[in-house]
Homo-oligomer: A and B are copies of this chain.
Amino acid sequence: MDDSRPEGEAEQGAHGDRRAQLVDAAVDHVAAHGIADLSLRGLGAAIGVSHRMLIHYFGSKEQLLVEIVRTSERRQRDVLSRIRLEPGLSPADVARLLWHQLTDPRLAGQERLFFEICGHALRGRPEAVPVLEGLVTDWLEPLVAAEVAAGAEPAAARNRARLGLATVRGLLLDLLATGDRAGVDSAMEEFLRLYYGSQ
């Protein structure tokens, strides 16, 4: 081991940039080609470094996977923060907006990766397990807040939020599997009708 050990958790510093850049490229590649049979050599060749470099910056494949999962999670969350809440929008409109964002074809790879990581996490793969923690909780918080703001009682709000989250994910899986955007959109409209009671 001749390396000066940058594989610590130090995210800062000049080489941190390179590291972050590598992770970003890695997530892109993984979103496009899957995380299941990722190999350091294959990834390295795809993003233009030798597999030796990946070990150098991340210490091990395991650590790299951790970073990939973490970054992918962050990207996922960014989708939520990207919606601009303009005044005058009904809750149903906001939900429609979020759904539209989430099903952007450009995000398909990202969403596929989400379900792929879920599968690994459910199996206890160490790099993915932490995802389980926030898989529901992290998303419930803002949704419950929205429900309460819209006038629901706290207890019911939690159930409604959990239901909404599950339905969105179920329909997203449907969309990715079938590609039937029109059909899935119709089902989503049906849900919004039931959920918000708007005609």
Contacts and interface: CB of A to CB of B under 8 A. Distances in A.
| Chain A interface, >50% SS class | helix
A135 to B, nearest CB: 5
A110 to B, nearest CB: 12
Interface stretch (A5-13, A18-26, A64-72, A118-126): A118-126
B159 A189 contact: yes
Interface stretch (A41-49, A53-61, A86-94, A174-182): A174-182
A186 B159 contact: yes
Nearest to A183: B162
Contacts of A122: 112, 115-116, 176-177
A123 B132 contact: no
A116 to B, nearest CB: 4
Contacts of A123: 33-34, 36, 112, 116
Interface in A83-130: 112, 115-123, 125
Nearest to A171: B166
A187 B119 CA distance: 22
Contacts of A184: 162
B121 A118 contact: no
B163 A118 contact: no
A151 interface: no
B119 A190 contact: no
